[in-house]
Amino acid sequence: MASLYGFVRRVYLVFNPPAPKALSESPLRFGILGAAKIAPLGIVWPVKNHPDAVVEAVAARDQGRADAFAKRHGIPKAYGGPEAYQRLLDDPEIDVVYNPLPVAFHYEWTMKALAAGKHVLLEKPSSCTAEETRKMFALAQSKGLTLMEAFHNRFYPAILRVKEIVDSGELGTPTKIEATFAIPGGLIKDNDIQMIYHLGGGVMMDMGCYPVAMSRYLAGTEPTKIISARADVHPKSPQVDLGTTATLAFPNPTGSLGPADGLTATLVAHARLPKLWGFLPQLPKTFVRVIGTRGTVELSNFLVPWLHHTITVESSEEVGGPLRKRTEKQYGNLGYRYQLEAFIDKLRGRNPENWIDAQDSIANLEWVEAIYKETGLGSRPASTAEVPQTTTG
């Protein structure tokens, strides 16, 4: 009963965030590019709860859509029409841009936003190619602006706790990571941006970027190679993967202590899990597990642990010794707000405890692209838009 109450309360708070006690006199003013589905959860509600941020404007390709979004969320300015995104970027009253456009437009509009002097909180995955991501961060750096990929889950207390357990040595030497983000069919339709190749679609881009990022984060190092990668492709769109499974090798973290073959990570992303026995829809799977020489930790929901999760730890004092089991929970009330908090801390010159830096975002995409290469599907097409570069920016 208590856990049901906790769940309802957490959901309520994310959708109805309590207003901050006192608003800063000159809060950072956010502008949103596109009336995207993720924008309320990703920025609008978190901002309502932050004492130093407001959403000042939204831009959508259609004026009616921009107006409706602005009205629904109490946003003062709504830019609409074919020039709307650029008009938002030209608005001197915008300090920060939230970019939740389809991945194929991340590069173009982030480069333009940076060129216009705005900081950018950029939705995941950062772009279609590591090369584009490199260029975005180079421009941000050359202009002294902050750019961060919005891997919201990297900021949740439950994730930080799992990392702490792994790094504490309680599990011995990590030998295997399993990270799965898979959902049943029927949720993501063919016309969703995730399913459209030229918009940067494909499950490894969209859902798969999370297991890739999580395995690299928990391993604390970069993979060395791809052992295998296999994709189930969309029947009508052969460059789009509906489901991809990849196994990556990581360096042996502690040399002689670990098994000879080091650490491997098996990553699964699936947007349309097949029905069991042909009729029973499968439940969503969003777990990460780290297996070490002396124990295992599993987080039941590494994607949105603020909603619900259990951390299960089984460990022993010595290799092969008796296992002791315990469960933990690490909630917090802020949901996506943790990510915003770190972002604003950075903009205000404070040092956030957690951050996703340029190298992290670049490497994540390098591995996503490497997995695509291994499956034979190849990278998503790079942007052909003309954008300002570092030297001219």
Ligand X SMILES: O=C1OC[C@@H](O)[C@H](O)[C@H]1O
Ligand Y SMILES: NC(=O)C1=CN([C@@H]2O[C@H](COP(=O)(O)OP(=O)(O)OC[C@H]3O[C@@H](n4cnc5c(N)ncnc54)[C@H](OP(=O)(O)O)[C@@H]3O)[C@@H](O)[C@H]2O)C=CC1
With respect to ligand X, which residue has the nearer C-beta, 153 or 296?
153
Nearest to 259 by CA among 306, 304, 292: 292
Q: Which does 100 bind (CB under 5 to 8 A by kind): ligand X, ligand Y, none?
A: ligand Y
With respect to ligand X, which residue has the nearer C-beta, 207 or 368?
207
Q: Which does 34 bind (CB under 5 to 8 A by kind): ligand X, ligand Y, none?
A: ligand Y
DSSP string, 16-69: SPPPPSS--SS-EEEEEES--TTHIIIIIHHHHT-TTEEEEEEEESSHHHHHHH
Report yes or no: 388 and 133 within 8 Å, Cβ to Cβ. Answer: no
Q: Which does 207 bind (CB under 5 to 8 A by kind): ligand X, ligand Y, none?
A: ligand X
DSSP string, 245-310: EEEEEE--TTGGGS-TT-EEEEEEEEEEEPPBTTTBPPPPBB-EEEEESSEEEEESBSS-TTTS--
Q: How far apart are CA 109 and CA 126, in angstroms?
A: 11
With respect to ligand Y, which residue has the nearer C-beta, 198 or 373?
198
* Shortest distance (Å) from residue 149 CB to ligand X: 11
- Is 124 part of the annotated catalytic residue set? yes
Residue 388: how many CB atoms within 10 A of its CB? 14
Of all residues in the shown chain, the one whose CB is closest to ligand Y is: 34
> Mask: binding to ligand X, 58-97, rule CB under 6 A, as x and -?
----------------------------------------
Nearest to 374 by CA among 267, 291, 236: 267
* Shortest distance (Å) from residue 393 CB to ligand Y: 23
Structure tokens at 19: 């207003």
With respect to ligand Y, which residue has the nearer C-beta, 65 or 176?
65
With respect to ligand Y, which residue has the nearer C-beta, 165 or 199?
199
Nearest to 205 by CA among 240, 238, 234, 179: 240
Q: How far apart are CA 81 and CA 344, in angstroms?
A: 30
With respect to ligand Y, which residue has the nearer C-beta, 109 or 250?
109
Report residue 128 CA to chain centroid gap.
14
Q: Which does 193 bind (CB under 5 to 8 A by kind): ligand X, ligand Y, none?
A: ligand Y
With respect to ligand Y, which residue has the nearer C-beta, 65 or 308?
65
Stretch 177-196 residues interacting with ligand X (CB under 6 A): 194
Report residue 261 CA to chain centroid gap.
29
CA atoms within 13 A on the CB side of 178: 12
According to the binding rule CB under 6 A, does residue 207 interact with ligand X? yes
* Shortest distance (Å) from residue 236 CB to ligand Y: 18
**Buried (b) or exposed (e) across 241-261, using 16+ Cβ within 10 A?**
bbbbbbbbebebbeeeebeee
Among residues 52, 56, 91, 206, the one that binds ligand X under rule CB under 6 A: 206
Residue 345: how many CB atoms within 10 A of its CB? 16
Q: Environment class of residue 136 by beta-carbon count within 10 Å: exposed (0-12), middle (13-18) or buried (19+)? A: buried
* Shortest distance (Å) from residue 246 CB to ligand X: 18
Q: Which does 262 bind (CB under 5 to 8 A by kind): ligand Y, ligand X, none?
A: none
Applying CB under 6 A, the residues found at the interface with ligand Y are 34-38, 42, 60-61, 65, 100-103, 105, 123-124, 150, 152, 193, 199, 206
Q: Which does 102 bind (CB under 5 to 8 A by kind): ligand Y, ligand X, none?
A: ligand Y
* Shortest distance (Å) from residue 80 CB to ligand Y: 8
Asked whether the CA dihedral 16, 21, 23, 29 is positive or negative, the reply is negative
* Shortest distance (Å) from residue 273 CB to ligand X: 13
Choose, from 48, 118, 124, 143, the residue flagged as catalytic.
124
* Shortest distance (Å) from residue 66 CB to ligand Y: 7
Residues that bind ligand X (CB under 6 A): 194, 206-207
Active site (catalytic) residues: 124
